[in-house]
Amino acid sequence: MTDARPEPTPHPVPAPATATATERSVTRVDVVPHTHWDREWYSPYPTFRLRLVDLIDELLPRLEADPDFGHFQLDGQMAVVDDYLGLRPDAAERIRALAADGRLSMGPWYVLPDEFLVSGETHVRNLQLGMRRAADFGGAMTVGYLPDMFGHIAQMPQILTQFGFDDAVVWRGVPSSVTGPAFWWIAPDGSRVRATYLPAGYGNGSGLPADPDGVREKIEMFRTLQGDLVGDPVLVMAGMDHEVPPAHLSTVIAELNAAEADRADGETYHLRIRSLADHLADTARDHLGEIGGEMRSGYRANVLMGVASNRVDVKQAAARAERLLERVAEPLAALWMGDEHARWQPVLDLAWLDVIRNAAHDSICACSHDEVVDAVRHRYAESIRLARGVADRAVAAGALAPSTAGPVVLNATARTRTGMVEIDVAGVEQTGDATATVQVLVDRPEVEEIEGAVGVDAPMRLAMASMAEHPDTRKVRLDRSVPGVLTAHLLARRSRAERDRDPDPEPAGTAEELLSPADALATVGTLVAEQPDLELRLVVHRSTPSRRVLTLAGDVPGFGWALWSPVVARHPVRPHGELGLTNGLVAVEADPATGTFALDGVAGFGRLVDDGDAGDTYNWCPPEHDVVIDRPESVVVTVAEAGPIRGRLVIRSTYVLPERCAIDGRDDMVTGWSGGESYRRVGEVTQVITTTVEVRADDPAVRVTTAWDQRARDHRLRVHLPLPTPATHSEAEDAYAVVRRPLWAEGGPNEWGVPTFPSRRFVRAGGLTVTHEGLCEYELVDLRTPDGRTLPDTTGLTAADAVSLGTAPPEGTTASAVALTLVRSTGWLSRGPMPSRPQPAGPFDRLEGSQTLRPLELRYAIQLDTTAGALEPYALADHVWNPLLSAVAVGGGALGDRGTHLEVQAVPAGAIEIDAVLRDDHGRLVVRAHAVGDDACTLTLPGRSGAVIDLLGREVDTFAGSIEVDPHRIVTLRLER
């Protein structure tokens, strides 16, 4: 995807040396024919796929017939090859032959991703798949190709070097401090790649004319406009979105070279069609500047930072899919399934393929047509179902392993953990406080009458009761002793312990009355046909009475298990005032006047702030006449649960929000401002927003769920959370890193420097940690200078105030709150001009789906860093989003009551984050981790040995139980035992 841009300010080009009649200078120009292929964007994938078939159908014979058309680059992603071969399988050998001759390059990615909105593991799996597929055709392009990513993550240089790359090619996000054609890009661990900058994007050679003079003029214009940013040789990327370079390319290059050779003096050009790798091999690596960490500047090209907050439903789905795969299904399957793992690995591979395909920047960024976004959401839904299915089977395997019967708790993460679990406990008596703290959810007596049905509804009701609600039903006894009434007794299967005690009991009733659930269903259908008003009554007979309860699990080892035993909460939840809860670690209290809540006496948490958005899926833009709503019309607070394990406050706030943005009162918005028109928020819509604040026993985190039926258009709704201490910066999770960010972002003439930033799972500032599920965008707000002046943030921003964006505030300026974007609704794929981005970023297409008009349930959690027992951010994210898992152990297995399949030790404690546990193609256990701090640390896996490998799986060292890990280093271990 590219975007229209005004011509950049020219950079001066040194005048060529004065030439005599016998001397001339030759400027080399490398032309790289390519296409940039968005697999789905303003059209759905099938449409673009057919266009891809047309393109490659045209390309292959051209390459085969024209040896002077020396090379073509298939966009750096292997998915386009698979997409083509899926419809043209007979072309595989032609592609392989061209690649072998150096005429065609492909890979290294499977899809060209967005870097910020997917996890580090998704990047690794994407590159692994791309390079594996490219190997089938002779190998991948040896360049870390990053042509259109919306900014670049800090750890990308390390990821690339661990795949064997020395070079990257970049466009968006490059800051103003870059003044030459290349620079050393350095990751937090010190890994570096040479980054070649594309100053005019990846299409500076698109549409080269058929006449030599026109080609020469275009090259000279490019050099004039870009000045010192142009390298030697000059790089001309001859291609664009969904475009094949013209057939005349090789001919016009030959004609231009011939004409240039006849020039007697002055500057001349010599053009060559080359691969990108060959071009980079001829460019300088000495005397380059350095850039460290992430690159998200809008100074030179639009970074399109608003994609982090559009279509929150897509970001939620991405967070869930990646979490289930990386931190639940994959480690559980690797550690619990044993020999069965190989049978389920294809399911995990399929789930990963959906996630990888969705990592494409126009897909995960949701800056696409509604039909495309629907397909993205569907792929995530399928990935989630597949991952959950594997996880369920792994948990079932875990339930068979212990030797003792009873509830068992599994931990899919590396840290020893405790926490709330939901389990069934036998018996109807209340468990005493002296042995355990429990909170009863459901009483299940031995015999219980449940809801029945009448007439035609009776068969379906019996089916639901016996097969879905009570799937342990073994037999059904039908009782017709009451006229007009049929009583169905659902008789449960017995546990193994019960069968051992009494091997062969028969349920009460005659043989004719005892039926299988299926036979009972058929009988009821027959009886209802004979007596349409027949009343069905249902009575459940359980093998033993039980209760569904919330309780606490004691310490469960990392990657291990523990049989549940009664635990007494040290800090049970109890009421705190009339509208509050406390567990002795934290105290929350709702404010019925504002709809907010106080946390440990600090008021104002959960304040909802709504302002207008006249932008598009790429960028937020305030309307000229905005209305900011930050107080509800009315509030109702209830205490839904008061402990002792879980407490919940429900704050139901009614807001009247503007219904949409319009121009001078008209109903429809046009594509851009014409100069005399004013956008304003108009209309009204009532929104009842429910905020549920949850406190758990022995838990330092406060969980928050915000839910409502989203019906307002063209707006941005954020939750403001006060900071205990004023902050000068934030720290947010990124792929394999925590990134420190200032209060501002660099902008330029093409895009405001809006200081909204992405985070993967958490952001930390001023003594507050916020962890979230797919709420990727945040901003530090309520800015104040050391002399007491208030500086604008983006809340209710005016065009006049926007001039301060993109420049650093005075030293010592602090923020007193963090704003977390809950939803950003817009009706445009792209628009322009608009104040925050003068030029469009894509087609001027109206959308309905990006308004996100649907019920939403958004979740985040907060923790004050001063709270007793406060967790470090990575541990907090696992604690909140990866709960302990419970099952019922049947007994008779080989394992004890407590243990681990993989012990992980880090010195200092918490210095290592485990990112992946999986099996390789040979069934060997693979563990990936990274050092989270600025100091070296030691990772130990007691009793384990094997090899240290890079991200391609190549051995780089041996491993014998422990390894020293440099700061911020990603390390992968392949274990032989």
Domain shared by 606 and 700, yes or no:
yes
| Gap between the Cα atoms of 138 and 132, Å rounded | 10
Is residue 479 within 8 A of residue 489, CB to CB? The reply is yes
Domain shared by 816 and 702, yes or no:
yes
Mean of pLDDT values over 903-926? 97
**Higher pLDDT residue, 427 or 804?**
804
Mean of pLDDT values over 665-686? 73
| CATH number of 225's domain | 3.20.110.10
Domain shared by 914 and 862, yes or no:
no
Return the pLDDT at 494. Answer: 61
Domain shared by 754 and 626, yes or no:
yes
**Higher pLDDT residue, 433 or 352?**
352
Main-chain phi, psi angles of 113, to 5 degrees: -95, 165
Domain shared by 293 and 316, yes or no:
no
What are 218-258's pLDDT values in tens digits? 999 999 999 999 999 999 999 999 998 899 999 999 999 99
Does the residue 44 lie in any domain?
Answer: no
Q: SS3 sequence, 804-871?
A: HCCCCCCCCCEEEEEEEEEEEECCECCCCCECCECCCCCCCCECCHHHCCCEEEEEEEEEECCCCCCC
Q: Is the pLDDT of residue 501 over 70?
A: no
What one-character-per-residue DSSP string does 31-79 give? Answer: EEEB-B--SSSSS-HHHHHHHHHHHHHHHHHHHHH-TTS--EE-TTBTH
| Gap between the Cα atoms of 185 and 194, Å rounded | 6
Mean of pLDDT values over 448-463? 95
Tokens 């007691």, residue? 942
Task: Kindly provide the b/e burial profile for residues 678-695, where b requires at least 16 CB atoms within 10 angstroms of the residue's own CB.
Answer: ebbbbeeeebebebbbbb
pTM of the entire predicted model: 0.93
Q: What's the one-letter identity of residue 813?
A: T
What are 814-840's pLDDT values in tens digits? 999 999 999 999 999 999 889 999 999
Using 50, 70 and 90 to split pLDDT, how confident is the model at 546?
confident
**Higher pLDDT residue, 315 or 673?**
315
Q: What's the one-letter identity of residue 28?
A: R
Does the residue 672 lie in any domain?
Answer: yes
Using 50, 70 and 90 to split pLDDT, how confident is the model at 21?
very low
Using 50, 70 and 90 to split pLDDT, how confident is the model at 677?
low
What are 595-607's pLDDT values in tens digits? 999 999 999 999 9
Mean of pLDDT values over 711-735? 98
Q: What's the one-letter identity of residue 654?
A: T
| CATH number of 956's domain | 2.60.40.2220
Q: Is the pLDDT of residue 16 over 80?
A: no
Domain shared by 700 and 612, yes or no:
yes
Domain shared by 257 and 315, yes or no:
no
Domain shared by 314 and 365, yes or no:
yes
Is residue 520 within 8 A of residue 476, CB to CB? The reply is yes
Q: Is the pLDDT of residue 499 over 70?
A: no
Using 50, 70 and 90 to split pLDDT, how confident is the model at 6?
very low
Q: Could you give the number of structural domains in the chain? A: 5
Q: Is the pLDDT of residue 507 over 60?
A: no
Domain shared by 299 and 319, yes or no:
no
Q: Is the pLDDT of residue 364 over 80?
A: yes
| Gap between the Cα atoms of 118 and 359, Å rounded | 6
What are 109-118's pLDDT values in tens digits? 999 999 999 9
Mean of pLDDT values over 637-653? 98
Mean of pLDDT values over 685-701? 99
| Gap between the Cα atoms of 42 and 48, Å rounded | 9
Q: Closest by alpha carbon to 304, among 694, 716, 743, 620?
A: 620
Query: What's the helix, strand, coil split of the chain in %, to 5?
Result: 25, 35, 40
Mean of pLDDT values over 335-344? 95
Does the residue 605 lie in any domain?
Answer: yes
Does the residue 224 lie in any domain?
Answer: yes
| Gap between the Cα atoms of 100 and 84, Å rounded | 19
| Gap between the Cα atoms of 901 and 944, Å rounded | 11
| CATH number of 334's domain | 1.20.1270.50
Domain shared by 185 and 248, yes or no:
yes
Last-in-domain residue among 369, 384, 400: 400
Does the residue 80 lie in any domain?
Answer: no
Percent of the residues in the chain that have a pLDDT greater than 70, as a whole number: 93
Return the pLDDT at 668. Answer: 58
Is residue 359 within 8 A of residue 118, CB to CB? The reply is yes
**Helix/strand/coil for 518:** helix
What are 117-137's pLDDT values in tens digits? 999 999 999 999 999 999 999
**Domain limits for position 320:** 308-400
Last-in-domain residue among 260, 283, 303: 303
385 secondary structure, DSSP code = H
Return the pLDDT at 12. Answer: 37
Using 50, 70 and 90 to split pLDDT, how confident is the model at 495?
low
Is residue 799 within 8 A of residue 792, CB to CB? The reply is no
Return the pLDDT at 11. Answer: 37
Domain shared by 461 and 359, yes or no:
no
Is residue 658 within 8 A of residue 716, CB to CB? The reply is no
Domain shared by 800 and 663, yes or no:
yes
Mean of pLDDT values over 684-710? 99
Return the pLDDT at 493. Answer: 75
Does the residue 343 lie in any domain?
Answer: yes
Does the residue 54 lie in any domain?
Answer: no
Q: SS3 sequence, 561-609?
A: EEECCCCCCCCCCEECCCCEEECCCCEEEEECCCCEEEECCEEEECEEE
| CATH number of 820's domain | 2.70.98.30
Using 50, 70 and 90 to split pLDDT, how confident is the model at 485?
very high
Does the residue 53 lie in any domain?
Answer: no
Last-in-domain residue among 273, 303, 333: 303
Percent of the residues in the chain that have a pLDDT greater than 90, as a whole number: 87
Return the pLDDT at 674. Answer: 52
Mean per-residue pLDDT over the chain, rounded: 93
- Six token digits for residue 287: 């005397």
**Higher pLDDT residue, 1 or 51?**
51
